[in-house]
Structure 1
Amino acid sequence: MENMLEKIKQSAAFLEGKLSNRPSIGLILGSGLGELADEIEEAVKIPYGEIPHFPVSTVEGHAGQLVVGRLHGKTVVAMQGRFHYYEGYSMQEVTFPVRVMKQLGVELIVVTNACGGMNKSFEPGDLMIITDHLNMTGDNPLIGPNVEELGPRFPDMSSAYTPELVEFVEATANRLDIKVQKGVYAGITGPTYMTGAELIMLRKLGGDVIGMSTVPEVIVARHANMKVIGISCITDMAIGEEIEGITHEQVVEVANRTKPKFIKLVKEIVSTVEL
């Protein structure tokens, strides 16, 4: 972990050399949702491959670059494409950009994803505010020696998704007349989609949606004492008793259809949130 701390500082120093302002909000943009980064003004775009120690995104629909600039008056840093455990990266590598964001001065992370809906009252195209999560990956990015400079040995996850910001996002969506759900995100490793029996199990455990990201990033953000907003785009229904085949292309297609209201909501959140 000491070596990781040095890598974090090297990555942040590289980025600081390219930026005129320190970002206060970090955006992690999931499958099909990266277009929001195109709305950032005075944008500095830095491919992941140019940043020291950064992994490189290998998933279709993920552009693979950091975009830093102004969005509704706030300086933001957006990950246009994220990293996943199923790509073969370690949990520490998956969450490395969150550590770098913290080093750059980010106080709030807005994490987005495309996911399957297990709650029978949800529909494809719905947006869901994440209120909590189930870590079903069998791993944790904080395993290993702890560096106090990064966060405490035993961080509290009882309110991983900042409760007052859950209420704020819901109120913001209502003001914009955007329908939103609220619920629990079940995080798995992937890359396989789940069997019917697995989906029934996860729903019975309390999961409302299921996806292959987000949980590691949120754990690290909270370890670093960052505020967290999580928003899921439900791209398909994952009801165990009624399971149908799904492809990544279908996921991206529904995410693309949902983009306008998603972008509208996140822009308003950035504009009006108090840090």
Structure 2
Amino acid sequence: MPQLNPLDDPAADPFEVARDAAARIAELTGVEHHDLALTLGSGWGRAAELIGETTHTIPATEVPGFSKPALEGHVGTLRSVLLPNGTRALVIGARTHYYEGHGVRRVVHSVRTAAATGASVMILTNGAGGIKEHWKPGTPVLISDHINLTADSPLEGATFIDLTDLYSSRLRAIAHGLAPDLDEGVYVQFRGPHYETPAEVQMAKTIGGHIVGMSTALEAIAARQAGMEVLGFSLITNLAAGIQTTPLSHQEVIEAGRAAEPVISRLLADVVAAI
């Protein structure tokens, strides 16, 4: 029988589960503290090799609260990486998406675990659809803000968190210093797993969105609650429905990610080195 996930118990304290997960990571890796964390979405995986020396790789399923990723392109591991400056990065390749139906606690558990390991910076990456017509597949874009259309939140009870400058202007300035031509955009998280209709994309555009996807926003809110500084990157894997004329497919997302991976991973590694 598969082991029950502790986060599925409504009475469980999700922060206590995150602390247990952090303790397990320390036990399995021998690394007591991580300084920053990265969630590597579609197309961003190679950055794990470029940012430093991976000293430990552990299956995420060996850590409390984590489960096997449902999506192809996500490897289901946690890595402890020693950066050239002597600091430590926790690389999360085990994202749980909201559309998997496990609840928000499971979606944001990786972020809360990263915070519990000591990480003060959370870098969130994804593959997404672009609304700006001049964006070509393979274009990296900084997330400047988000619109959460999941009708959900990782915050429970009377918990009020300010989301002004959620996507850190300081960290975005570092990225712009390394790549002055980097564009920015507002990320719109839909529930998924279906792709957006052309009308929904136009709605997103009308309310101020530039990027559409199925992750990141809920994780960013949880990171802010944990006191972390957040940097967000989207890889534009395709133009969104109605902007491009051909049907969307997950295979297209995977292929665009693979093609862009060397360039965007180098960019991300340079940003990490500069933080």
Q: Output the TM-score relative to the length of structure 1.
A: 0.90
Task: Identify the residue that residue 64 of structure 1 maps to in structure 2.
Answer: 76
The verdict on how the C-alpha distance between 1:135 and 1:14 changes in structure 2, with shifts beyond 3 A counting, is same
Letter of the 1:62 partner, please give it.
H
Match of 2:19 in 1: 9
Q: Tell me if the contact between 1:31 and 1:252 (Cα under 8 Å) persists in the aligned partners.
A: yes
Q: CA deviation at 1:21?
A: 4.7
Aligned length: 262
Deviation at 1:72, TM superposition (A): 3.3
CA distance in 2, matches of 1:98, 1:241: 32
1:119-172 deviation line (CA, Å, top 9, x unaligned): 123221111011000101111111x336xxxxxx21101211011211221111
Larger mean CA deviation between 259-268 and 14-23 belongs to: 14-23
SS of structure 2 residue aligned to 1:95: helix
Aligned partner of 1:230 in structure 2 is: 232
Identity of aligned residues (%): 33
Deviation of 1:32 after TM superposition, in Å, equals: 3.1
Task: Indicate how the Cα distance of structure 1 residues 42 and 256 shifts in structure 2: closer, same or farther if over 3 A, else same.
Answer: closer
Helix, strand or coil: the match of 2:220? Answer: helix
Structure 2 residues not aligned, in runs of 5+: 1-10
Question: Is residue 172 of structure 2 the alignment partner of residue 172 of structure 1?
Answer: no
Question: Is residue 2:137 matched to residue 1:124?
Answer: yes
Gaps of 5+ in 1: 147-152
On the 8 A contact 1:22/1:75 being kept in 2, the answer is yes
Q: 1:160 is matched with which residue? A: 166
Partners of 1:48 and 1:65 within 8 A in 2: yes
CA deviation after TM superposition for structure 1 residue 241, in Å: 5.4
CA–CA distance in 1 between the matches of 2:236 and 2:15?
35
- Work out whether residues 126 and 216 of structure 2, in 8 Å CA contact, stay in contact via their aligned partners in 1: yes
Which residue matches 2:152? Answer: 139
Query: Secondary structure of 1:98's match?
Result: helix
User: 221-230 or 36-45: which moved more?
Assistant: 36-45
What secondary structure does 1:69 align onto? Answer: strand
Q: Which residue of 1 is the match for residue 218 of structure 2?
A: 216
The answer for the alignment partner of 2:127 in structure 1 is 114
Distance 2:274 2:243 in 1: 41
Aligned position for 2:56: 44
Q: Which deviates the most, 20-29 or 190-199?
A: 20-29
Matched residue SS, 2:179: helix
TM-score, structure 2 normalization: 0.90
